[in-house]
Structure 1
């Protein structure tokens, strides 16, 4: 059997879970992760490469006989890493820039959905020097809540749900003055607030054929009961009971198929993972957002039940053979809880020693997100530190298993939400 050397781009919990899944493939030769983390190092070699320095990536690929590059995070995709490497005849799993704009620009995504009649919220777009006009527009509508979205990439922190004019003014000022947001807010999308329950559906596409991999429900807000600031994600579980077979059929017919077909018509065939963020409303499922990659932490919940060889799926995608494949998912439930540093997503301390991972059950996964080794000890190195993933034959069992193991891991200033999956329990 042929084996393939793989370079995995990224260094978070998503990439640790992808590395773990790739390591199970008989087709895997050598695995390198750039930059990786202490978790990915368990399955291959971490390499210090800047994923946004495409020439440096190309040099490494050629010197190490890499036969597939798998891109985890969105920033290199939006910046054009797939375009650059593909033009050098290096196979890449991930969309080109023109397709990655579904995530790279909220305005592009909204205009695309309107053009192809894909259900989503009503919206208006304003440039950075038109924030006063945006405020006047919101005042005229006088309908709250209202949603403000920075057009570009903001690490999951560029979306604000405002309940009053006062909060709108506060958030507009934050977007203008916060350096981490202002770069993403050359354009501002003002969006109708959709009532319902959120969920995500994950699709793999080779540009022509697409398959649904799984569905999940993320928990974006920092506080329990979905309160406080938006984060990159505080936990997830799958499957989401709100995504019934009937809902999934509508999502495929009204959203996924028109999206893949629309990108073909735009001459931007979509190759890679398409994350479809949904609001399940009284009028049916509507798109909240697209992402051009696996969600984080949803990826950590949906890869364990995937029974396919992940590398085989990636290769089939890059070789336009996805029509030969079908997706196999176990019927178990999975719950992922994010352990974060207290103060995230604003200010937090790093360098806190982590203990207890060795005490976690063998059938429970701990994926590293923001960790590093210092003087031989594992320490915190980010806002989101670890992902603990447990499973069960019911959602309740999966939740119980996860939290039982969460308590075995300790570090100073540890914070986590204690209500991951509770919406699913209520619906069940």
Structure 2
């Protein structure tokens, strides 16, 4: 089997490694990829989405796996182009990927289908947003578009809200777009992942990520400073409720509204006192949750995704460990406001009992590793208990260093 994975970060590194460990030993390719990914998959000599799909068609690719969300909605859409060229794609078409690409589209979908979610108002200007907030803090502000995990702000007061609205409407940090002013929900968060194939689905291992930069959930929002994954994270009773009230109605809504879907769908949930509610959808695996979940997936992920892309749900091809997995992110100096590249990374060779996924690194001319982005590395360890996985992951993370390194030391500990 010949598989091409689209993306370049730590999530894609984890997907590529999981696919590489499938029993059939598939031949792997990746675009745009990274130096670390290219130790497992071959690079593809193309310069864009359309030439990528042409290359896949010319090189007998059996399956395209969408890792990075932007390609699903870029141009005509990755899955749409794949379908036109007869290439099975594990990832939804552009029209369905609007669930992630547009916060407003997702909110309207949730409301139409009676799926629990926070109240929200769409606004076109800074003044409209301030009026919609109406002095009620904390409030949640969401840019209506893709923003690499940085388009959402939980604002405790007027000053923080005005700062974010200035970034969106005045500085145009994320480009043109509206802002959703949303009710601030309270409670622990959980990420639910489902492999959706038309009207059927399979729920993968739940996870919880850590968005804030500093210990104790303090500091600015980031793309994620770590994650914990386990079947034990959510009780069977709560998972059954989530399936009944959120997952099944989402799948039914997609079918009813003529939105085809074959691929992973991420449900970002808040477990409020009134019950689970949807914060957001992502039309792919989460990052860094993917790095925590993939080591718990057993079986033949490659065959599972190929069958799914062809419309068949073959649950017998995968199973899930009952243990725990903890992912600790090492980030570069300045993150999340900025990132610094070119800092030498030391200690990777000392990590022997944990998995290392590269999010933002590159090889130097002499073969060493250096930083090349905001989130640099994900150090992941598993165990039968959460405490064992936490201890091993943090011990492994202690072995790796680079100038300006940032990390949280309470991943897997805080909020448990």
> Does residue 356 of structure 2 align to residue 366 of structure 1?
yes
Q: Provide the rounded CA distance (Å) in 2 between the counterparts of 1:377 and 1:166.
A: 44
Aligned partner (choices 103, 112, 121) of residue 115 of structure 1: 112
Corresponding residue of 1:23: 20
Q: Matches of 1:240 and 1:169 in 2, distance apart?
A: 40
259 and 416 in structure 1: CA distance in 2 versus 1, 3 angstrom threshold:
same
Instruction: Label 1:180 to 1:170 Cα distance change in 2 as closer, same or farther (>3 A).
Output: closer
Q: Tell me what 1:97 maps to.
A: 94
1:134 maps to 2:125: no
How do 1:373-384 residues align onto structure 2 when only pairs under 5 Å count? 373-375=363-365, 376-384=367-375
Partner Cα separation in structure 2 for residue 407 and residue 38 of structure 1: 23
What do residues 23-71 of structure 1 show as CA deviations (whole Å, max 9, x unaligned)? 1123343211112122212222123544xx2221122213322111111
Residue of structure 2 in register with 1:399 after alignment = 390
Q: TM-score, normalised by structure 1?
A: 0.93
Whether the aligned pair in 2 keeps the contact of 1:350 and 1:381 (CA below 8 Å) is yes
**TM-score, normalisation: structure 2:** 0.96
* Partner residue in 1 for 2:249: 258
Alignment-derived partner of residue 171 in structure 1 = 164
Matched with 1:243 is 234
Deviation at 1:240, TM superposition (A): 7.2
| 1:65 maps onto 2:60 in alignment | yes
Question: What are the Cα deviations for residues 258-282 of structure 1, in whole angstroms up to 9, with x where unaligned?
Answer: 1011001111122100000000011
- Work out the CA distance in 2 between the residues paired with 1:234 and 1:324: 31
1:209 aligns with 2:219: no
SS in 2 for 1:397: helix
2:51 counterpart of 1:56: yes
Match of 2:292 in 1: 301
- Residues 308-344 of structure 1, C-alpha deviation per residue, up to 9 Å, x if partnerless? 2110110121121105547511111110000010211
Match for residue 87 of structure 1 among 84, 101, 105: 84
Tell me the distance in 2 between the aligned counterparts of 1:137 and 1:41.
48
CA shift for structure 1 position 408: 1.0
After superposition, the CA RMSD in angstroms is 1.5
Offset, 1:166:
2.6
TM-superposition CA deviations, 1:345-365 (whole Å, max 9, x none): 11232111112111112x310
3-state SS of the aligned residue for 1:422? coil
Partners of 2:239 and 2:251 in 1: how far apart? 16
Q: How does 1:276-315 map to 2 (within 5 A)?
A: 276-315=267-306
CA–CA distance in structure 2, aligned partners of residues 379 and 153 of structure 1:
28
- Are the aligned partners of 2:11 and 2:359 in contact in 1 as well (CA < 8 Å)? yes
Residue 173 (structure 2) pairs with residue 180 (structure 1): yes
Q: Answer whether contact 1:236 1:297 (CA < 8 A) is retained.
A: yes
Length, aligned pairs only: 413
SS at match of 2:26: strand
Structure 1 segments unaligned to the other structure (5+ residues): none
Residues 241, 176 of structure 1: CA spacing in aligned structure 2 closer, same or farther, 3 A cutoff? farther
Compared CA separation, residues 219 and 112, structure 1 to 2 (3 A): same
Q: Given the alignment of the two structures, is residue 189 of structure 1 paired with residue 198 of structure 2, yes or no?
A: no
> CA offsets, 1:160-214, max 9 Å, x none?
111122322222112123343233xx11100000010111001001112101011
Distance 1:246 1:16 in 2: 33
Q: Name the structure 1 match of 2:151.
A: 158
